[in-house]
Amino acid sequence: MSSRDEVLESARNTLTIEADAIIALRDRIDDSFYRAVEMISGCSGRLVITGMGKSGLICQKVTSTMASTGTPSFFLHPAEGIHGDLGMLMKGDVVIAVSNSGETEEIVRILPVIKRMGLQLISMSGNPESTLARAGDVSLDVSVTQEACPLGLAPTASTTVTLAMGDALAVALLEKKKFRAEDFALFHPGGALGKRLLLRVEDLMHQEQEVPLVSQQTTVKEALFEITDKKLGITGVIDPSQGLIGVFTDGDLRRCLEDNVESLELSIVEVMSHHPKRVLRHNLAAKAVKLMEEFSVTSLFVFEQENDTTPVGIVHLHDLLKAGVV
């Protein structure tokens, strides 16, 4: 049985080999890579990614990444392909075929069909002289000097490098298409990620009679009633034109009472905080979270436009927590 030190050293060696393999890949990001990106971005059909075995599993992950970042993609199992699934292919598609050896039987057997259909082929192989590499309109070299597996048999560094190359393509395409967070959100409506990217401040804010507001003539005592009634721990202070000029929180109240128990009779403008933190109603709720973290506050008054002075709502940290944005 291996000792503790041997186990840890083996793990570290695996990570070193795979990290070095990815770093070596940087020197192969050249004109071939650029042509592959141009080929995919100019595609009038879909991106079809195919691979067998461990390469196939990597292809499925790359397919998923491509699809979620704006490049319509699907995975074609090459063994199923030669038994009818090649019917999924259509004019205008671009195919990425992956095989470390470049000689995988199922991959080699579908190459003539891809060519006969006139589809553009991007090959990803660890053998630049292989059948697959030579067949590609563009060939991407994903070779490694050694696998992390001490037997040199289990795909380890080679699959890691292939995945990294796929991610590099996906990110390059994302940036080329100027893919935005809002676009990403459309493909991720479920779970916490979807909520962070889809929900906007206006979806969660309190508005109309739920917004805690007092006039600048209000006393601290009267402001306390508003804070208690609206249950948000804060009230805004507005001028005669309904413009927000300050805020007063339950924390401010505690500090007032610590200084002077008679402060309940003070005018709210004497103790309020100036320059209230604000957010726009069309902003993503995730931006509201970021602003709250940046300014160490739990509420933000909401405005229609950047230069508006009259708030249309208020959003509280608890609203963001309940919605799953945080």
Which structure tokens are listed for 36?
């592959």
Does residue 244 carry a pLDDT above 90? Answer: yes
pLDDT (tens digit per residue) in 178-224: 876 666 655 655 555 666 667 889 999 999 999 999 998 999 889 89
End-to-end alpha-carbon separation of the chain, Å? 45
pLDDT band at 82 (very low <50, low <70, confident <90, very high): confident
Rounded CA separation 278/258 (Å): 28
State the pLDDT at residue 31.
96
User: Stretch 132-151: mean pLDDT, rounded?
Assistant: 93
Residue 67 has pLDDT above 90, yes or no: no
Q: What does the pLDDT average to over 211-239?
A: 92
* Per-residue model confidence (pLDDT) at position 270: 87
The reported pLDDT for the residue numbered 183 is 60
pLDDT, average across residues 128-139: 96
pTM of the model: 0.65
DSSP string, 231-265: TSSEEEEE-TTS-EEEEEEHHHHHHHHHH-GGGGG
- pLDDT in the model for residue 150: 83
Least confident piece of the model among 133-147, 257-271, 292-306: 257-271
pLDDT of 190 reads 58
In the predicted structure, residue 238 carries a pLDDT above the cut 80: yes
What does pLDDT average to over the chain?
90
Least confident of 136-140, 150-154, 279-283: 150-154
User: What pLDDT score was predicted for residue 312?
Assistant: 96
Give me the count of residues in the chain.
326
pLDDT, tens digit, for every residue of 274-306?
989 999 999 988 899 999 999 999 999 999 999
Q: What distance in Å separates the CA atoms of residue 301 and residue 307, rounded to the nearest whole number?
A: 13
By CB atoms closer than 10 A (0-12, 13-18, 19+), residue 28 is middle
Q: What is the pLDDT of residue 316?
A: 95
pLDDT, tens digit, for every residue of 93-113?
A: 999 999 999 999 999 999 999
Q: Write the pLDDT tens digit of every residue in 12-46.
A: 999 999 999 999 999 999 999 999 999 999 999 99
pLDDT tens digits along 248-261: 998 888 888 776 76
Q: Where are the domains of the chain?
A: 4-179, 201-322
Instruction: Retrieve residue 35's tokens.
Output: 């042509």
- In the numeric block, the tokens 């004109």 are attached to 31
What pLDDT is recorded for position 185?
59
Domain 201-322 = CATH 2.40.50.320? no
Residue 264's pLDDT is: 80
The DSSP bridge partners found for residue 257 are none
Distance in angstroms (rounded) separating the CA atoms of residues 281 and 303: 6
Asked if residues 159 and 21 have their Cβ atoms less than 8 Å apart, the reply is no
Q: Which fold has domain 4-179?
A: Rossmann fold (3.40.50)
Q: Are strands 244-249 and 299-303 parallel, antiparallel or unpaired?
A: unpaired
Percentage of the residues of the chain whose pLDDT score is greater than 70: 92
